[in-house]
Structure 1
């Protein structure tokens, strides 16, 4: 009796298909290559930079309409002095002469530039840095978002953020915020507190002489007094009064009046 033919393939031929090609071996799981630590650090830094830019952009948009409740410098002074004096006053309740005096004192071309006064910067560089070149817009950015003191990182951030603020805020808004966060005496911030502190009047009732004296002490509020002005402050206030009248005559107050 014939033996049944064994059709099962158990030898080498079993590993070949009908076309004679070797059967594919099971694929090995792909090995996971560890990421280089340097790439992870770079990626983390990029995400941190994107997050910082996004945060700054959000704050610029926010404060274009919402009044900053406090600034980094106010926080540091409050920690040092235990308390500070600060009341927000809308632009409609600030004497127009105060706005003109601040512009005449700090940035006469405020309505003409886009945040950085390149002509003033070149003049300051030509004089070896002894002359200030910060615009009111730059000072507002520094006071609201950054820290005090002279350092290249802060100046770089200030220069980068100022055009963005100028693009989003109106000139009137920039000046309103500036007048409300500037320091006028030790622990006294904003014209809303400076006017009664020095003269016993509201910000809306400041005279041209009083406004000029307040503007004259802005560069050195701890070393100058508006109520008891030195000869220098009186001379400077006289110059500011003339400058305020000039920018009113030639229309350089159009952007904030």
Structure 2
């Protein structure tokens, strides 16, 4: 009887584990279908909600966000956004080569789609496990959503300060204006704050931050047709 009970318990645990794995695998595509029409929240936002911490996020459609910000972010974060399938394989290979040859931790090579996947489904921090999970999730997002929708989601869940999420909240918090009214310079400073949103102040940028923003502005001017999938020709 004890052996039969133990076998039954083991079988129950196995079935429970299998069900959980099925849920984990199916949840991202199911949520992505939902996110095609419903404003999503990021895992970081959910974490703050769970801790009863302040969150400022005001969802805005892409039409109500300054195109200057779109241009600055694509130029700064992912110039190949309109042409890759969610992953920039060549840049990723370079980072793998750095790891194998020099032993350094891989950094960069994250497309906007990969960053969106991370923000929607994963956690912050550098790890090979998280980076590995980003790849199939980014490919899934690119296959299921339009480029415009991916950009719209990204602009509404990106972190721009402690508890500040999305372009509208950032524009209001740092400049006291709606996101649709951001100037070129303001957009460039917001875009170049993204790699370090808790350490860079777009309203009072350091000299280094100002230089990054100026470089971004210069690059936007000569970027050519890299924004067409979001802003049109």
- CA-to-partner distance for each residue in 1:144-198, whole Å, 9 max, x for gaps? 1222122333223222211111101011111111111111111111110111211
The TM-score, its normalising length taken from structure 2, stands at: 0.87
Corresponding residue SS for 2:160: strand
Checking the alignment, whether the CA contact within 8 Å between 1:97 and 1:244 is kept in structure 2 is no
Q: 1 CA distance for matches of 2:180 and 2:28? A: 33
Name the counterpart of 2:230: 256
Root mean square deviation of aligned Cα: 2.1
Cα offsets for 1:42-86 (capped at 9, x unmatched): 554333222222222210111012111x32201323455731211
Quick one: which of 53, 71, 76 aligns to 1:82?
53
2:187 to 205, 208, 211: 211
Note if 1:120 corresponds to 2:91: yes
| Structure 2 residue ranges without an equivalent (≥5) | 99-103
- Counterpart of 2:204? 228
Which residue does 2:20 correspond to in 1? 48
Q: Classify the secondary structure of the residue corresponding to 2:230.
A: coil
Query: Where do 5+ consecutive residues of structure 1 fail to align?
Result: 1-32
Distance in 1 (alpha carbons) for counterparts of 2:54 and 2:210? 30
Pair 1:147-2:123 in alignment? yes
Equivalent residue number for residue 165 of structure 1: 141
Partner of 1:102: 73
Q: Does 1:136 align with 2:107?
A: no
CA distance in 1 between counterparts of 2:178 and 2:212 reads 23
Highest CA radius of gyration, 1 or 2?
1
Q: Provide TM-score, normalisation by structure 1.
A: 0.79
* Alpha-carbon distance, 1:113 to partner: 0.7
Q: Going by fraction, where is helix more abundant, 1 or 2?
A: 2
